[in-house]
Amino acid sequence: MDMKNRVQLITYADRITGHDLSALDQLLTTQLKSLFSGVHILPFYFPIDGSDAGFDPIDHTQVDPRLGDWQTVRQIGQHSEIMADLIVNHMSAQSEEFLDVLANAEASPYWDLFLKETDIFPAGITQQQAKQIYRPRPGSCFSQKTLNDGRVINFWTTFTDNQIDINVESPAGQAYLERVLTLFAQNGVKIIRLDAAGYAIKRAGTSCFMTDESFAFVDTLSRRANELGMETIAEIHSHFETQIAVANRVNRVYDFALPPLVLHTLFSLNCTALLHWLDIAPRNCLTVLDTHDGIGIIDAGPQGEKPGLLNAAEVDALVEKIHTNSDGQSRLATGAAASNLDLYQVNCTFYDALGQDDFAYLLARAIQFFSPGVPQVYYAGLFAVPNAMALLGKTNVGRDINRPYLTGLDLNEAFERPIVKGLMKLIEFRNTHDAFNGDFSCTGTATTAQLSWQKHGQIAQLNFDLAKMTAEIIIDNGIEKTGFVLADLLVGLS
Contact 471, 491 (CB under 8 A): no
Is it the case that residue 83 has pLDDT exceeding 70? yes
Rounded to two decimals, what is the model's pTM? 0.94
pLDDT of residue 463: 98
Q: CB neighbours (10 Å) of residue 261?
A: 27
Residue 374 makes CB contacts below 8 A (sequence gap 6+) with 3, 4, 5, 6, 7, 8, 252, 285, 286, 287
User: According to the annotation, is 174 in a ligand binding site?
Assistant: no
Same domain for 460 and 422, yes or no, is no
| pLDDT, tens digit (0-9, with 9 covering 90-100), for 331-365 | 998 876 544 444 568 999 999 999 999 999 999 99
* Total domains in the fold of the chain: 3
pLDDT band at 261 (very low <50, low <70, confident <90, very high): very high
Share of the chain above pLDDT 90, in %: 82
As a whole number of angstroms, the distance between CA 43 and CA 154 comes to: 27
pLDDT of residue 1: 56
pLDDT band at 492 (very low <50, low <70, confident <90, very high): low
304 lies in some domain = yes
pLDDT band at 137 (very low <50, low <70, confident <90, very high): confident
Same domain for 177 and 124, yes or no, is no
Same domain for 307 and 196, yes or no, is yes
Mean pLDDT of 308-334: 93
User: According to the annotation, is 237 in a ligand binding site?
Assistant: no
2 lies in some domain = no
User: According to the annotation, is 316 in a ligand binding site?
Assistant: no
Same domain for 81 and 181, yes or no, is yes
More confident call, 453 vs 216: 453
Beta bridge mates, 81 = 38
- Strand order through the sheet with 470-476: 439-444, 448-455, 458-465, 470-476, 481-485
Last residue of a domain, one of 391, 416, 436: 436
Same domain for 22 and 138, yes or no, is no
Same domain for 205 and 218, yes or no, is yes
CATH number of the domain where residue 20 is located: 3.20.20.80
As a whole number of angstroms, the distance between CA 88 and CA 199 comes to: 9
Last residue of a domain, one of 164, 185, 211: 164
pLDDT of residue 340: 44
User: According to the annotation, is 194 in a ligand binding site?
Assistant: yes
Same domain for 309 and 360, yes or no, is yes
Is it the case that residue 146 has pLDDT exceeding 70? yes
pLDDT of residue 461: 98
Average pLDDT of the chain, as a whole number: 93
Which residues have a catalytic role annotated? 195, 235
Mean pLDDT of 457-468: 97
User: According to the annotation, is 183 in a ligand binding site?
Assistant: no
Residue 334 makes CB contacts below 8 A (sequence gap 6+) with 294, 323, 340, 345, 346, 347, 348, 398
Same domain for 102 and 77, yes or no, is no
pLDDT of residue 414: 96
Contact 171, 113 (CB under 8 A): no
Mean pLDDT of 310-317: 92
3 lies in some domain = no
Contact 237, 299 (CB under 8 A): yes
200 lies in some domain = yes
25 lies in some domain = yes
User: Which value, in Å, is the radius of gyration of the alpha carbons in the chain?
Assistant: 22
Mean pLDDT of 309-327: 94
CATH number of the domain where residue 157 is located: 3.90.400.10
More confident call, 441 vs 296: 441
Q: CB neighbours (10 Å) of residue 324?
A: 13
Region of poorest pLDDT, from 23-27, 97-101, 109-113, 407-411: 407-411
Beta bridge mates, 254 = 286
DSSP letters of 328-379?
Answer: THHHHHSGGGTT----SEE-S-HHHHTTT-HHHHHHHHHHHHHSSSEEEEEH
| C-alpha dist (Å) from residue 91 to 148, 151, 343, 400 | 20, 21, 22, 21
1 lies in some domain = no
368 lies in some domain = yes
Contact 283, 251 (CB under 8 A): no
pLDDT of residue 139: 83
User: According to the annotation, is 345 in a ligand binding site?
Assistant: yes
pLDDT band at 407 (very low <50, low <70, confident <90, very high): very high
Same domain for 79 and 100, yes or no, is no
Last residue of a domain, one of 436, 457, 474: 436
pLDDT band at 427 (very low <50, low <70, confident <90, very high): very high
pLDDT of residue 339: 47
Q: Which domain holds residue 123?
A: 96-164
pLDDT of residue 342: 46
Mean pLDDT of 95-116: 98
DSSP letters of 78-140?
Answer: TTSEEEEEEE-SEEETTSHHHHHHHHHGGGSTTGGGB-BHHHH-TT---HHHHHHS--SSSS-
Same domain for 21 and 79, yes or no, is yes
Region of poorest pLDDT, from 1-5, 99-103, 267-271, 443-447: 1-5
User: According to the annotation, is 344 in a ligand binding site?
Assistant: yes
Same domain for 363 and 323, yes or no, is yes
User: According to the annotation, is 195 in a ligand binding site?
Assistant: yes
pLDDT of residue 248: 82
Contact 362, 490 (CB under 8 A): yes
Same domain for 479 and 347, yes or no, is no
